[in-house]
Structure 1
Amino acid sequence: MPSKYEVLVQQVREQITANIWQAGEKLPSLREQAESSGISLMTVMHAYQILESQGWIFSRPQSGYYVAPKAEFLTQPAVHQQVQPAESVDINDFIFEVLQAGRDPDIVPFGSAFPDPGLFPRRQLTRSLSRVAHAMSALSVVDNLPPGNEALRNIIAKRYALQGMKVSPDEIVITAGAMEALNLSLQAVTRPGDWVIVENPAFYGALQALERLQLKALAIAAHPRFGIDLTALEQALNDYPVKACWVMTNSQNPLGCTLSDEKKQQLAALLQRYNVYLIEDDVYHELYFGAHKPLPAKAYDTRGMAMHCSSFSKSLAAGFRVGWVAAGEMAGRIQRLQLMSTLSTSAPMQLALANYLATRGYDSHLRRLRRMLEQRKNSYRQALHRLLPEVRINECHSGYFLWIELPPGVDATELYRRALRQKISIAPGRMFSAGGLYNNYFRFNISYEWNDRQTRAVEVLARLIKEMLPV
């Protein structure tokens, strides 16, 4: 029998689907809903939080909850398989080509993986870096060897604690960005030839890591709105000797979707049942738009088998290249692997971040950043619907990416090449699949301010798409 909050979630979904509540319309307040439904205020709040995490509604501070814009459900590729095995991964050359092309400062960076640097508090970070540079001693390098700066690890542990999670500073390893955290985590639990689960589509960094470490990929279908298919995941766990599962649980790149708390809990339980390590790529965890920060799947790990990887690159300082992994039982092994590779993360950058994070400026910055990204995403979404009527856009309420489906027969890789000649970049769907899928999809960065330059660039994309439509 479903619980009271599950019943309310289903009722509100059905009401929105039936157009009883229109997109942009304000829902009854928590108190009003509790009185009319005859359930507790906490139950209503829990139901609204679930609806928000699933993209049905969104919240505005001091205002209430509103119905989200209607999502156009994107189709899956025609040759799509729920479980797609790949004995080898060979995608790095193409990814390198796309990333190198995006370095040109004259290019409109719709294909960029990084947020607009103008959104970051550079002046305050520079002051912190200056302070620690003057105070550094000869011992600073030694003090910041793995597992990393103690003050910084304590600050990160306290931020976990604010979400109700018990993560000891001793299991946190500071790394040179999230990519080092993810690669070290993968290396810690696999050997060449092992099977590793990734999503489909997946962040291309995961595919590059598998290629570098000579690992085999099991790509599990991810729904544009609800994320990884857990039924297909269990099938893969039954059929293959899987060693690790690399998943993005919040603001998945490229889709943008966030798993519900229930699905995260099911994911963690499923992997623990099959003794498979979870490598959780959570670099966008601070870029949620609602009132409540989503939990990672690590919150539901009871055996220390989840390695939660994140960084400050997407929320604070891309150039600092400081990340971390809350590594559970693998913390010691990851420290030893780091000592054999990069030795340690930059001591000045660790010290500068610890100095900045000790102030109250970070959370104020995050509130401004989330508000700005939400505004820009809404502006881009409206403009793209108007200027690119041929495409379909995945509606997700976090982060700074849109996942866009082109009409059948329009190749996103060819569109990327034609757009690049016009000084416009996009991230073609081929970057996100080891099996050559998603050829009529691309990822679109909305973090830069919408202005005349962006308008002209989208108009050029519209013209190129029309030229490529099958006759």
Structure 2
Amino acid sequence: MKLYEALADELAGLMAAGVLRPGEKLPSVRQQQERRGVSPSTVFQAYYQLEARGLIESRPRSGYYVAARRALATPEPEVSRPDAASTLVDVSELVFQVLEASRAPDIVPLGSAFPSPLLFPLNKLGRAVASSMRHIDPWSTVADLSPGNAELRRQIALRYQLDGVQVAPDDIVITNGALEALNLCLQAVARPGDTVLVESPSFYAALQALERIGLKAVEVATHPREGIELGALAAALEQHKPSACWLMTSFQNPLGSLMPPEKKQALVDLLAAHDVPLVEDDVYGELYFGAQRPALAKRFDSKGLVMHCSSFSKCLAPGFRVGWAAAGRFSRQVERLKLTTSLAAAMPSQLALAEYLGQGGYERHLRQLRVALAGQLQKMLAAIEAHFPAGTRVTQPQGGYFLWVVLPESVDALELHRLALGQGISIAPGPMFSAKRRFANCIRLNYGQAWDEGAVAVLGMLAKTSSGRGPSV
């Protein structure tokens, strides 16, 4: 454990024990430095960690204070209970309709799939683009086409090593965003008519990928806090003999659920016993609010069955569309599929990201991003409690930037989506996240966009109106 993590955990323990009380001022950075014999950077990083976890707050020109504890009254959703039947997927038309209606620039993007672009170091990335293109090796534009730029793959392999996972640069394939990586992995192990196990609710792009290839989906019961239910998964493995399992094990979209490390290990062991590949969609893994990055399911993989996919789109550079796959025993198949579909990801984006990562500012950016997202999560939860109808349930994620909201059963999420658009607000209605159009009274909200409590209040009023209770006065 690093020094700043140990300091953060020590202070968190003092808060939990009541030694440091809500509203109490923490020692200054200089005081901590002198008492403990550590650098200012160590103290700042510890305080950033505590701030991201919502345990302390910064007050301008005053210092850091223990945050007030406020228990939210809004309960969590219950575990989903889908039926065990497989089904062909047909969600794309609904998804396209919802996304098309949400693109207007004057819409409050609570239904967006991305955090605010203002949270990203776009100026630094721009300078990295210019610098990398000035020093480009002409031969690399051909030699690195597939599987991707060698230096970028090396930088990604180094980040795997920090997470306790050994992945060789040669086993990484650079793709056009994580979605291409996920699609290529799926194509490497499944054929039309095969069955794939997914969470319930599931990311709509995963369902669209199954639909495009002609695969059947089996939605498996999923806990809103801890991810897919392993008992239900074991039963589905026995019944359906799937070709693959596509899961988000960290900060799942749309629930925000996070599988504990011991559950991830049990998941990998269970799938290994059935020789079923896991397509691990991990695009939100860097956006944690705790002391350290959640363990990857791939960390527990000894058979090469975990196909880990991620990207820089959610945490650094959305428009660059650079992702990757570390596909274990299937790496060569994925590389060949990449070569025969899109050949290569854009070389300027790869070169710029390789240069940016090599400069060493990525961790600082991630800390700032996590702090911003953690703060906006608390604002969103408080606003939902204040403005949404009685009977609402909401997830309380430990990372990412999505909330799953279960409204009273009388609320029609698709109708609420239509009403919200009329007020200049987009949401993601629940039926988008199910092959069988379930979750009719659920919505996904994005708290990573610029904060707008007025929009959340309007949405709550519309939900009250459509539920038949009428708006509060």
Q: TM-score range by the shorter chain?
A: 0.7 to 0.9
Deviation at 1:133, TM superposition (A): 2.0
Query: Structure 2: how far apart are the matches of 1:424 and 1:28?
Result: 42
- The match for 2:408 is 407
Among all aligned residue pairs of Structure 1 and Structure 2, give the percentage whose two residues are the same amino acid.
48
Deviation at 1:58, TM superposition (A): 6.9
Map of 1:130-141 to 2, 5 A cutoff? 130-141=130-141
Map of 1:277-288 to 2, 5 A cutoff? 277-288=277-288
- The match for 1:47 is none
Please point out which of 26, 32, 53 is paired with 2:15.
26
Deviation at 1:459, TM superposition (A): 2.5
Counterpart contact for 2:178–2:309, Cα < 8 Å: yes
Distance 1:278 1:457, change over 3 A: same
CA RMSD of aligned residues (A): 2.2
AA of the residue aligned to 2:424: K
Query: Structure 2: how far apart are the matches of 1:302 and 1:217?
Result: 27
Query: Structure 2: how far apart are the matches of 1:189 and 1:397?
Result: 32
Query: Structure 1: how far apart are the matches of 2:342 and 2:289?
Result: 35
Query: Structure 1: how far apart are the matches of 2:464 and 2:374?
Result: 29
Deviation at 1:380, TM superposition (A): 1.6
SS at 1:197's partner residue?
strand
2:252 matches 1:252 = yes
Counterpart contact for 2:387–2:461, Cα < 8 Å: no
Counterpart contact for 2:146–2:338, Cα < 8 Å: yes
Counterpart contact for 1:298–1:307, Cα < 8 Å: yes
Map of 1:290-301 to 2, 5 A cutoff? 290-301=290-301
SS at 1:377's partner residue?
helix
- The match for 1:235 is 235
SS at 1:245's partner residue?
strand
Distance 1:292 1:166, change over 3 A: same
Deviation at 1:74, TM superposition (A): 1.1
AA of the residue aligned to 1:346: A
- The match for 2:395 is 394
SS at 2:197's partner residue?
strand
AA of the residue aligned to 2:120: F
Query: Structure 2: how far apart are the matches of 1:422 and 1:127?
Result: 39
Distance 1:459 1:368, change over 3 A: same
Map of 1:307-318 to 2, 5 A cutoff? 307-318=307-318
Query: Structure 2: how far apart are the matches of 1:270 and 1:58?
Result: 35
Q: Deviations over 1:258-288 (max 9, x none)?
A: 0000110000000000010000000001000
Deviation at 1:143, TM superposition (A): 2.7
Counterpart contact for 1:288–1:294, Cα < 8 Å: yes
Distance 1:437 1:402, change over 3 A: same
Normalised by the length of structure 1, the TM-score is 0.84
Post-superposition, which runs of at least 4 consecutive aligned residues in structure 1 deviate over 3 A?
A: 57-71
- The match for 1:467 is 465
Query: Structure 2: how far apart are the matches of 1:63 and 1:200?
Result: 39
Deviation at 1:409, TM superposition (A): 1.0
Q: Deviations over 1:82-132 (max 9, x none)?
A: 53421x100001101111122110100000000100000000000000112
Query: Structure 2: how far apart are the matches of 1:447 and 1:91?
Result: 25
- The match for 1:436 is 437
For structure 2, the 5+ residue unaligned runs are 1-12, 20-52, 58-63
How many residue pairs get aligned? The number is: 416
SS at 1:358's partner residue?
helix
Q: Deviations over 1:156-199 (max 9, x none)?
A: 11111112211111111111100000000000001100111111
AA of the residue aligned to 1:124: K
Deviation at 1:381, TM superposition (A): 1.3
Counterpart contact for 1:25–1:66, Cα < 8 Å: no
Normalised by the length of structure 2, the TM-score is 0.84
Counterpart contact for 2:55–2:67, Cα < 8 Å: yes
Distance 1:96 1:63, change over 3 A: same
- The match for 2:76 is 73
